[in-house]
């Protein structure tokens, strides 16, 4: 247990991270946001409501979109 570094000895602690690591984290977060937006757009545009099984008397779900 004596060999573990304290927080002050770690290079990335308390705002001391390198610009390269900071940019890498920003790129990963940005990539995840872009993928999420792409997934949401694709899901919205390619959802096929004609595959819904129901009857006019008992539709079960409200399938109208609110634009």
How far is it, in rounded angstroms, from Cα 22 to Cα 17? 7
Predicted confidence band of residue 3 (pLDDT cuts 50, 70, 90): confident
Is 0.75 surpassed by the pTM of this model?
no
Continuous segment of H or E residues that includes residue 40 = helix 19-46
* 37 pLDDT above the threshold of 90: yes
Residues 52, 61 contacting (CB under 8 angstroms): yes
Residue linked to tokens 């990539």: 31
Whether the predicted pLDDT of 47 surpasses 70: yes
pLDDT in tens, 8-36: 777 777 777 788 888 999 999 999 999 99
């Amino acid at each position: 247990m004596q060999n573990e570094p304290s927080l002050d000895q770690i290079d990335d602690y308390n705002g001391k991270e390198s610009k390269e690591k900071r940019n890498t984290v920003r790129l990963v977060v940005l990539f995840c946001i872009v993928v999420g937006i792409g997934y949401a757009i694709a899901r919205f545009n390619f959802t096929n409501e004609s595959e819904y099984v129901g009857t006019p008397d008992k539709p079960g779900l409200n399938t109208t979109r609110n634009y």
